[in-house]
A and B are shown apart, each in its own frame.
Chain A
Amino acid sequence: MASAFLTLTTISIFFINHTSINEDRAHIHLMINYAFEDMKLRCISARKLADSSVFASTGTSLPEFTFEGEKDMYAITPEDNSDNIWYAYRIDKDNNLVLEEKPTALDAATKKEILIDKKYKPAIQFEYIPGTEPNFLKVTISAEGKKLDNKAASDRITKSDGIRFWFINVVL
Chain B
Amino acid sequence: MFLVSLSALLLTGKFFQKNAEQRSIAMSVVSMKMEEYLAKSYAGLQETTVPLTGVENGIAWTVWVEKKEECPNGCKVESATRIPYKVITVTASYDDLSSRGKKQKKEVRLVNMVPYPYIHIASYVSSPETLPVPPTVPFNNNGIVTKKPFYDVGLNYDQLLPLLMKKGYVDESLHVPPSFNTLDDEFKSWFAVTTYDTEGIPQTSYTLTDAQFTAIENILKDTRNPTNPINFQNIQNAALTINYPVGKHLLIVYNISTKINTFTNIQSNNTILTGIFINGVNISVITRTPIVLQPLISNVVGVDLQDLAAKGIIPSNNGTYLVELRWNKDTPSGVITAPEYNFMILAVEEIGTGG
Other-chain residue from A11, A21, A148, A159 in contact with B25 (beta carbon distance below 8 A): A159
Residue of A nearest to B4 (CB): A11
A7 within 8 A of B: yes
Q: Which residues of A contact B38 (CB under 8 A)?
A: 164
B24 within 8 A of A: yes
Q: How many interface residues does chain A have, given as a range?
A: 20 to 34
Contact mask for chain B residues 49-74; partner A; CB cutoff 8 A; 1 contact, 0 none = 00000001100000000000000000
Other-chain residue from B7, B21, B40 in contact with A133 (beta carbon distance below 8 A): B40
Q: Is the CB of A157 within 8 A of B32?
A: no
Chain B nearest CB: distance from A80 CB in Å?
Answer: 23
Residue of B nearest to A15 (CB): B10
Q: How many A-B residue pairs have CB under 8 A?
A: 72
B43 within 8 A of A: no
B44 within 8 A of A: yes
Q: Is the CB of A162 within 8 A of B24?
A: no
Q: How many interface residues does chain B have, given as a range?
A: 20 to 34
Q: Which residues of A contact B29 (CB under 8 A)?
A: 160
Q: A14-B10, A135-B39 are in contact. Are A162 and B32 (CB under 8 A)?
A: yes
Binding site secondary structure of chain B: helix
Which stretch (A22-30, A66-74, A100-108) binds chain B?
A: A22-30
B326 within 8 A of A: no
B259 within 8 A of A: no
List residues of B (17-41) whose CB comes within 8 Å of A's CBs. 17-18, 20-21, 24-25, 28-29, 31-36, 38-40
A135 and B36 alpha carbons, distance in the complex (Å): 9
A148 and B18 alpha carbons, distance in the complex (Å): 7
Q: Which residues of A contact B77 (CB under 8 A)?
A: none
Q: Is the CB of B33 within 8 A of A162?
A: yes
Residue of A nearest to B44 (CB): A133
Residue among B13, B17, B40 with most chain A CB within 10 A: B17
Other-chain residue from B17, B35, B57 in contact with A159 (beta carbon distance below 8 A): B57
Residue of B nearest to A148 (CB): B18
Q: Is the CB of B14 within 8 A of A161?
A: no
Binding site secondary structure of chain A: mixed
List residues of A (12-44) whose CB comes within 8 Å of B's CBs. 14-15, 18, 21-22, 25-26, 29, 33, 36
User: Hey, which bits of chain B sit against chain A, CB under 8 A?
Assistant: 3, 6-7, 10, 13-14, 17-18, 20-21, 24-25, 28-29, 31-36, 38-40, 44, 56-57
Q: Lowest 5 CB-CB distances: which A-B pairs, in order?
A: A162-B35, A136-B39, A133-B39, A162-B32, A159-B28
Apart from A138-B32, A140-B57, 15 more pairs, CB < 8 Å: A7-B3, A11-B7, A21-B17, A22-B14, A22-B17, A133-B36, A160-B28, A160-B32, A161-B28, A161-B31, A161-B35, A162-B32, A162-B34, A162-B36, A164-B38
27 A/B residue pairs, CB under 8 Å, sorted by A: A8-B3, A11-B3, A11-B7, A14-B7, A15-B6, A18-B10, A18-B13, A18-B14, A21-B17, A25-B17, A26-B20, A33-B28, A136-B35, A136-B39, A138-B32, A148-B21, A149-B14, A157-B21, A159-B24, A160-B29, A160-B56, A162-B31, A162-B33, A162-B35, A162-B36, A164-B35, A164-B39
